Amino acid sequence: MSTTAAAASPVTYLNEKTTVASWLLTKDHKRIGLMYMLTVTLAFVVGAVFAGLIRLELATPAGDLLSSDTYNRVFTAHGVAMVFFVLIPVVPAVLGNFVLPLMLGAKDVAFPKLNLLSWYVFILGMTVTFSAIVMGGVDTGWTFYPPFSTEGSDSNVMLAGVGIFITGFSSILTGLNFMVTIHRMRAPGLTWFRLPLFVWALYATSLIQVLGTPVVAITVLMVALERFAHLGFFDPRLGGDPVLFQHLFWFYSHPAVYIMILPPMGAISEVIACFSRKNIFGYSFVAFSSMAIAVFGFLVWAHHIFVAGISPYSAMVFSFLTYAVAVPSAVKTFNWTATLYRGAIWMRAPMIWVFGFLGLFLVGGLTGLFTASLGIDIHIHDTYFVVAHFHYIMVGGAIMGYFAGLHFWWPKMTGRMYNDTAAKTSAVLVFVGFNLTFFPQFILGYLGMPRRYHMYPPEFQVLNVMSTGGAAILAVGYLLPMIYLTYSFFKGEQAGSNPWMATGLEWTTQSPPLPHNFADQPVVTEGAYEYSKREMKVA
Amino acid sequence: MAGHISPKSTYYAIFGALMVLTAVTVGVAFINLGALNFPVAMAVAVTKATLVILFFMHVKYSSKLTKFIVLMAFFFLFILFGMTLTDYLSRGWYASPRGSVGAGTQVEAEHPVRQQPAATAEQAH
Ligand SMILES: [Cu+2]
């Protein structure tokens, strides 16, 4: 096993064919995963540049760098790029595409052509949306609230809306594909309760993608119909209700947060079990908590609109349910911590990203409870407190989790190792930079600084400068992986098939895997995390 | 791909039923049924959708798993409507404190918030 790859370079999915056409027409889930990785990274860079502009503007109290109108367009571009083109696809479409069939012992996903189509739909949606940004931008914020989006704004609302509508179908196709794959493509012996927790997380995510995304697509379409045909869904003068848009929008967009966070949570479970050399504590609870989050995540959306004029009764119901949905997230966090307890913790780079995730997700999750309580929400609604809260979840949680998973599976994806010290440094920089950027924003929000303004009273400057400084550190933390991972891809030392001595079918094939994953059909005879049965042989 | 092949006559029958029901939808639109306008229109639409799902989409002949997934979709639709209605049906249950005009209170003419958008919209035009 340890000497796997014979010296004469073996056939892998990377070197089997190398023409451009062989990539653009590939049906290989692994190649599609890598193509998604490049695309998402591009969107991340775009979103990060806009984030940089925001932080530069906010370094001084005066609105001196960008005009008010430009600032509106900049934060909208940041939100749209990051939410729809980075956070939603980053783990399912990149890591999920790559490892799901490998974890199931399958040759590919259930519908390989559909998988490729989803990437092309994604590219089309991204092109349309980004062209709206290039051609002058959108000034509504990523939430597109009417009446501003339907009659106030004269920016490219419709073009961006159409782009997001198209992109939604890419998400639906991926979700559908994964659901069918998990139902139909499992290796012999791979029962539901032997599935890796990453697979459970992807299944729960797919459910949300398939059931939630059509609603936001229709909602965007309703904005279009109201803008052009004055159909009066949201305009009170035509018999509509602007709050209806917010209900429909958040019916998808709250669960969308779970599309962003559930797959990273799944990756965290894999990494924590491997680097603690232990079975995950309470496997079935962690598995079911993913499903619980997927279902109950659909029952909490109105916590975004407590102050928008919904009825007090409705607000109480949604507040209560929001508290309830914190329970499965807490179950996961406690179970991860319990997994660490008396484990043989192995401090390699993926594990450092996991520790970062745990800390940031904890803060993000608990501050969610602040915003879920009706009284406090009135004070902090639309302030920087909320901005800090959701960045802790979506960047601190989802992106940290993505990096944990990426560093874990990188040797499998490329067959090469990266510099462990560089990777740890990057994780520490991101953790420090992130906290410096966003913790001051909790205080700013509590003190009353509203979001989406480019000017603020001078007494808020110290905290804002801290935040901008933190963003600079964060940028370095994110640039580093691009450098050492690129280096690793071409020059890194050979990883062998299983450098972490991990359980899981994906580690039983060579790295990088064969074009069709496995030489022989794998058969599963035990649970996903039987680390106690493995000997730790550090090569 | 799917195992079951329905006879053509089934498809024609369903198509005929859908056409008849479409005629009913259009016809009913000309008759004022008062409070029943909406329920009747919805009932016809739901019947049509059910026919399409069961026969054209082959759900009637599909596995239990497929049926379960279809039901799941309706369950989530129920959540969407049901939970949204917790807001709309309960507006005005509670009076807002200190005579302010807040959630759900039905003040038409002197509603300061409602009048403002109309005024600003006129300025804009
Ligand atoms: Cu939410």
B14 and B39 within one domain: yes
Q: Quick check: B91 contacting A, CB < 8 Å? A: yes
**Burial level of A236, CB count in 10 A (0-12/13-18/19+)?**
middle
> How do residues A421-480 score in pLDDT, each as one tens digit?
999 999 999 999 999 999 999 999 999 999 999 999 999 999 999 999 999 999 999 999
Q: Are residues B51 and B4 in the same domain?
A: yes
> Under 8 Å CB-to-CB from A361, ≥6 apart: which residues?
A261, A333, A392, A393, A396, A397, A400, A401
B46 shares a domain with B28: yes
B67 in the same domain as B46:
no
3-class SS at A517? Answer: strand
Find the domain containing B77 and state its range.
63-91
Residues B35 and B82 grouped into a single domain: no
Confidence at residue B31, expressed as pLDDT on a 0 to 100 scale:
86
Annotation: CATH topology of A20-527: Cytochrome C Oxidase; Chain A (1.20.210)
Cα(A178)–Cα(A32) distance, integer angstroms: 14
Instruction: Inspect the interface and report whether the beta carbons of B94 and A311 lie closer than 8 Å.
Output: yes
| pLDDT confidence tier of residue A9, bands split at 50, 70 and 90 | low
* B56/B1 same-domain check: yes
Q: Between chains, do A298 and B76 touch, taking CB under 8 Å as contact?
A: yes
- Establish if A374 touches chain B: CB-CB under 8 angstroms: no
Extract the tokens encoding A201: 């997380």
- Report the pLDDT value the prediction gives residue B95, as an integer from 0 to 100: 64
CA-based nearest residue to A69, from A170, A158, A154: A154
Averaged over A60-67, what is the pLDDT?
A: 93
With CA atoms as reference, the chain B residue closest to A183 would be B65
CB pairs under 8 A between A and B: 60
Summarised one tens digit per residue, pLDDT across range B69-90 is: 888 888 999 999 999 999 999 9
pLDDT single digits (tens) A308-353: 989 989 999 999 999 999 999 999 999 999 999 999 999 999 999 9
Three-state secondary structure call for residue A450 = strand
pLDDT the model gives residue A18: 87
Count Cα atoms within 13 angstroms, Cβ side, for B106: 5
Q: What three-state secondary structure class fits A383? A: strand
Instruction: Produce one character per residue of A494-523: b if its CB has 16 or more CB atoms within 10 Å, e if not.
Output: ebbbbbbbbbbbbbbbbbbbbbebbeeebe
Is B117 an interface residue toward A (CB < 8 Å)?
yes
* CB contact (8 A) between residue B87 and residue A299: no
Please check whether residue B27 lies inside any domain of the structure.
yes
The verdict on A247 touching B (C-beta cutoff 8 Å) is yes
Q: For every one of its 125 residues, what pLDDT tens digit does chain B have, with 9 covering 90 and above?
A: 456 777 888 899 999 999 999 999 999 888 888 888 889 989 999 999 999 999 988 888 888 988 988 888 889 999 999 999 999 999 878 765 555 554 444 444 444 444 444 444 444 44
| Contact (Cβ atoms closer than 8 angstroms) between residue A531 and residue A503 | yes
On the question of pLDDT at A7 being above 50, the answer is no
| Shared domain check, B73 and B32 | no
Q: What pairs with residue A494 in β-bridges?
A: A416
The yes-or-no verdict on residue A199 having pLDDT over 60 is yes
C-beta of residue B111 within 8 angstroms of C-beta of residue B101:
yes
Among the candidates B60, B78, B107, a domain finishes at B60
Q: Is residue B16 part of a domain?
A: yes
User: What is the residue extent of each domain of chain A?
Assistant: 20-527
User: Residue A257 contacts by C-beta under 8 Å, 6 or more apart in sequence?
Assistant: A297, A390, A393, A394
Q: Chain B residue closest to A146 (CA)? A: B117
Q: Are residues B56 and B75 in the same domain?
A: no
Whether B124 is covered by a domain: the verdict is: no
* Residue B76 contacts A, CB cutoff 8 Å: yes
- pLDDT (average), residues A253-267: 95
> Which tokens hold the place of A416?
């090469």
Mean pLDDT of A245-264: 95
Cα–Cα distances in Å, from B23 out to B12, B56, B57? 17, 20, 22
Residue A260 near residue A227, CB atoms below 8 Å? no
> What pLDDT score was predicted for residue B118?
42
Does residue B51 belong to any structural domain of this protein? yes
- Inspect the interface and report whether the beta carbons of A301 and B121 lie closer than 8 Å: no
If you average pLDDT over residues A107-112, what whole number do you get? Answer: 96
Between the CA atoms of A26, A32, A35 and A39, what dihedral angle is there, to the nearest 10 degrees?
130
Confirm whether B107 is domain-assigned. no
Residue B100: burial class (beta carbons within 10 Å; 0-12, 13-18, 19+): exposed
Distance between B104 CA and the closest CA of chain A, angstroms: 6
Structure confidence by residue, pLDDT tens digits, A205-227: 999 999 999 999 899 888 888 88
Does A299 contact B94 at a Cβ distance shorter than 8 Å? no
Tell me whether residue B43 is in a domain.
Answer: yes
pLDDT at A6: 43
Q: Among A151, A236, A314, whose Cβ lies nearest the Cβ of B87?
A: A314
Report CA(A373)–ligand 1 centroid distance (Å): 12
B80, A312: Cβ pair inside 8 Å? no
Q: Tell me: do B38 and B72 sit in the same domain.
A: no
Whether B36 is covered by a domain: the verdict is yes
Residue B26 falls inside a structural domain? yes
**Structural domain tally of chain B?**
2
* Average pLDDT of span A156-181: 94
Find the helix or strand (DSSP H, E) in which A181 lies.
Answer: helix A157-184
Give me ligand 1 centre to Cα A250, in Å: 7
